[in-house]
Structure 1
Amino acid sequence: MGHIVNSEKEYRLLQQRLDCNITGAPYAPAFISILKLLFTPAEAYIARQIPLRPTRLSLVANKLNIPAAKLYGKVLAMAERGLVFDFEHNGEIYIVLSPVVIGFFEFIFMRTRDNLPLKELAELFEEYMSQDDRFAQSIFEGSTQLGRTLIHEQALPADTYSEVLDWEKTTAIIASAKHIGLSLCTCRHKASHLGRCCDAPLETCITLGKSAVILVKKGMAAAISPDKALRIIEDCKQQGLMQIADNVQRDVGFICNCCSCCCEFIQAIKRFNLKNAVITSNWLATVNPKFCKSCGACIRACPVGALHSEENSAGAKPVCDETVCLGCGVCVTACKFNGITMSPRPQRVIVPETSYDKIILMAIERGKLSNLVFDDPSRLHHRALGRIIGVIEKSSPVKTLMAVKPIKSAFLTAIVSRIKKATGVNKN
């Protein structure tokens, strides 16, 4: 594309475009360096014209004044690197610009590659993610998150297991999935290029349903059976890993088997004190002083440091900080003396029903609903309406109302209904 004379500007504009996504991409020199390694200047120009939600390839081709077949070739080259997603629906090709998280960060490290400088990318992503909290804040601000905690089912009290809903059970989620894919753990693979990966296994990232179909087709995952998926999860539990799943009730898209040292979700909690980075389960760790031997196994096992030792009349015993505990049950698995159990939380955790509900909720909370709804940088009225709604949704009265759960729920229902009707998106 000969008209591109200022490549630096193209990368800055692409960064600004990616920052419009609900999980954000704030400016940093390290992130610009990442974009330069992943995109040519011409690809950066094309990528920033691609909407943040699935759009027909033909529409983007018309906007760019490029033949659809030629654009598709360029899109496929970017899709191979996980920078753009393409899929077919009702005989038409749809494309969408991948966010950074969950997006091209994961897609890059989901497999080994020879066509990308993975070590250099790992170093740059580490700098971008850990240098300060701006990137973490852009992902995890708000009360609705990408991931939620799955409790170790073996840690549940026997008399309460029947009360646990299927979307809370790893076994039920796996059993209901029509397609399952297995990839490398993104976080541990990245850590391996930094020379500090732990001993936990690498092939542990499980994708489900439509996500699995797409990743298997793209060569980013291998198709596996439900039995193999359950064996992998069980092995990970025995190694003290916790499970973080897609924060939805229906059609869960992923289950990660996470260690405390490499997982970027957990690191956001520990490094930046973002306690809400992962939604908790509906359970809390409870110490039973009668059986506790003060061995410290539960304290060492807790992925987020929610347990610590305190002196009392019975001596030094572990104590659970309920504001930090994710309710994963890893501590129960680690204890050999039945000294710790899981108790129901006083207030049940609210989990979005579908991915669409989750995305809309996240957009509302982060003041980015206008980016999602009016997402066409080439159309003047979309940009104008987006700016107007952006001012409204960021105003103090709206933020105050959105903090009230009943109002928030009613507002979400109305917004989702109207957007689906306007865009022709079915409920499922």
Structure 2
Amino acid sequence: MGHIVNGEREYRLLQQRLDQNITGAPSSPVLTRILKLLFSPAEAAIARKIPLRPVAVAALARKIGLPAEALQEKILLMAEKGLVFDFEYRGQAHVVLAPIVIGFFEFVYMRTRDDLPMRELAQLFEEYMYRDDRFARDVFQQNTQLGRALAQEEALPAGDYSEVLDWEKASHVIRSARTIGLSLCACRHKASHLDKACAAPLKTCLTFNQGAEMLIKKGMAEQAGAGAAMAVLEQCKQAGLAQIADNVQRSVGFMCNCCGCCCGMIQAIKTFDLRGAVVTSSWAAAIAPEACTGCGLCVRACPVEAIGLAAGSDGRTQAVCEASLCLGCGVCYQACKRGAIRLKGRGQQVVVPETTFDRMVAMAIERGKLSSFLFDDPSRLSHRALGRIAAMVEKSAPVKAFMAVKPLRSAFLSAIAAGAKKYTER
């Protein structure tokens, strides 16, 4: 029975390792069942020793006492299943443990496959993500999020369009990417295995640059040109899908085309009232009462139920948008047949991290996981010591009060990011 006990231990330790990630992985018997379907006990034993930041495979092999060639072979098998990220940097193979999201959930369902029990996994992911709110609240807590809404450009008033920054435009994200990958929408694909997917197009997930290159190499995406990606974007707009992109300004990694019924981010908003799960665009829907007939098309189209019908001042039924709930995506503009809806500026630019590193540092600080992010190498005493210090700083009352003051918070984040970049370069 020893091997069974050890196997259970490895899955428990893997869950704990995944929970150190910025987006978390709360303990649950359901998560354990998911991990057992995805990882063999031997893979779990390796995976739970892989840092949350990239590490050279040769260095990891020395740390865990395996020949580098043998470890590389095992990592390649896990990477094919989408459980780890592997890539080359300066001629050396590197690896990093994939989180649940954005990570191995998406990589399981971004393609059709027969090497995994897809229906059983879909049922388990559904239960883990939506049976209670623990996972959703781990992923979508605080202010900095994984995804941000993009405003459909044609929905913007002509006078304001010149004020839209390049990183706010889906067209710019597509046309500026050096590599584009096209995959199945993981959320709708998962829903299809539960017999409850909507009729929206399925092959709509766009990835860019290094992430796209990795997915294409692993067969999880097919390479697409900018023209083909723009055609997918237009198809998705016509289908009433909202564009939700990587919450960064530079080197955007992904762009989802999301429906209100299957998308995990939108379901977190609607199921658990986590209204900040997706960062809004800098725009919100504005409805012209004189043009609105109260037909309700926009109400049915809004993915987050931010629009309702109410009696206007003249007694006519009209659409009303709650700006605080609105994503600023422009889906309602496409749905309206009367030209009664446009997007208007919110009056304040939404703050978006400049790079993926800046986003991750901000998320780590907000979630009290800065120590895990910066000092994630448990084999080195110096890292453990620094990690404990950082953890104490994060939890101290003065730092919490300090972070509540927005100008100080911004300066603190910038200083932490600058220092962490120097640390990781070393």
Q: Tell me the TM-score range normalised by the shorter chain.
A: over 0.9
Contact 2:293 2:317 in 1 (8 A): no
1:372 aligns with 2:377: no
Name the counterpart of 1:295. Answer: 295
TM normalised by structure 1 equals 0.97
Deviation of the 1:415 alpha carbon: 1.1
- Structure 1: gaps of 5 or more residues: none
Contact 2:79 2:85 in 1 (8 A): yes
Deviation of the 1:400 alpha carbon: 2.5
Q: List 4+ stretches of structure 1 deviating above 3 A.
A: 2-5
Give me the whole-angstrom Cα distance separating, in 1, the residues matched to 2:234 and 2:397: 46
Deviation of the 1:377 alpha carbon: 2.1
State the SS of the aligned residue for 1:423. helix
1:23 aligns with 2:38: no
1:37 partner letter: L
Contact 1:200 1:239 in 2 (8 A): yes
Give me the whole-angstrom Cα distance separating, in 2, the residues matched to 1:406 and 1:328: 28
Deviations 1:333-384 (A, max 9, x none): 1111121221100221000011111111111111101001110122233223
Name the counterpart of 2:250. Answer: 250
Name the counterpart of 1:304. Answer: 304
Counterparts of 1:386-405 in structure 2, within 5 Å, are: 386-405=387-406
1:381 partner letter: S
1:316 partner letter: T
Contact 1:148 1:244 in 2 (8 A): yes
Counterparts of 1:328-367 in structure 2, within 5 Å, are: 328-367=329-368
Deviation of the 1:3 alpha carbon: 7.8
Deviation of the 1:246 alpha carbon: 0.4
Point out the more displaced range, 239-248 or 303-312.
303-312
Deviation of the 1:78 alpha carbon: 0.6
Deviations 1:175-231 (A, max 9, x none): 100000000000000000001000011100000111111110111100000000000
Counterparts of 1:89-100 in structure 2, within 5 Å, are: 89-100=89-100
How high is the sequence identity, in percent, across the aligned residues?
60
Contact 1:4 1:42 in 2 (8 A): no
1:337 partner letter: R
State the SS of the aligned residue for 2:159. coil
Give me the whole-angstrom Cα distance separating, in 1, the residues matched to 2:378 and 2:228: 45
- Structure 2: gaps of 5 or more residues: none
Give me the whole-angstrom Cα distance separating, in 1, the residues matched to 2:402 and 2:321: 33
1:110 partner letter: M
TM normalised by structure 2 equals 0.97
Deviation of the 1:6 alpha carbon: 1.8
Name the counterpart of 2:382. Answer: 381
Deviations 1:133-190 (A, max 9, x none): 1100110111000000001111011111111111001111111000000000000000
Name the counterpart of 2:191. Answer: 191
1:168 aligns with 2:192: no
Name the counterpart of 2:56. Answer: 56
1:90 partner letter: R
Point out the more displaced range, 304-313 or 351-360.
304-313
Deviations 1:104-154 (A, max 9, x none): 000010001111111110000000000111100110111000000001111
Name the counterpart of 1:319. Answer: 320
1:347 partner letter: Q
Name the counterpart of 1:148. Answer: 148
State the SS of the aligned residue for 2:365. helix
Name the counterpart of 1:410. Answer: 411
Contact 2:19 2:25 in 1 (8 A): yes
Deviation of the 1:386 alpha carbon: 1.5
Give me the whole-angstrom Cα distance separating, in 2, the residues matched to 1:170 and 1:209: 15
Contact 1:151 1:328 in 2 (8 A): yes
Give me the whole-angstrom Cα distance separating, in 1, the residues matched to 2:4 and 2:88: 30
Contact 1:4 1:41 in 2 (8 A): no
Give me the whole-angstrom Cα distance separating, in 1, the residues matched to 2:395 and 2:121: 34
Name the counterpart of 2:84. Answer: 84
Deviation of the 1:399 alpha carbon: 2.2
2:334 partner letter: T
Give me the whole-angstrom Cα distance separating, in 2, the residues matched to 1:298 and 1:403: 37
Give me the whole-angstrom Cα distance separating, in 2, the residues matched to 1:248 and 1:86: 22
Contact 1:84 1:95 in 2 (8 A): yes
Deviation of the 1:396 alpha carbon: 3.0
Deviations 1:4-57 (A, max 9, x none): 852111111100000000000001111000000011111111101000000111
1:35 aligns with 2:39: no
State the SS of the aligned residue for 2:249. coil
Name the counterpart of 2:274. Answer: 274
Superposition RMSD on alpha carbons, in Å? 1.3
Give me the whole-angstrom Cα distance separating, in 2, the residues matched to 1:380 and 1:30: 34
The number of residue pairs the alignment matches comes to 424
Give me the whole-angstrom Cα distance separating, in 2, the residues matched to 1:380 and 1:40: 30
Give me the whole-angstrom Cα distance separating, in 2, the residues matched to 1:363 and 1:66: 31
Give me the whole-angstrom Cα distance separating, in 2, the residues matched to 1:179 and 1:266: 27
State the SS of the aligned residue for 1:113. coil
Contact 2:287 2:321 in 1 (8 A): yes
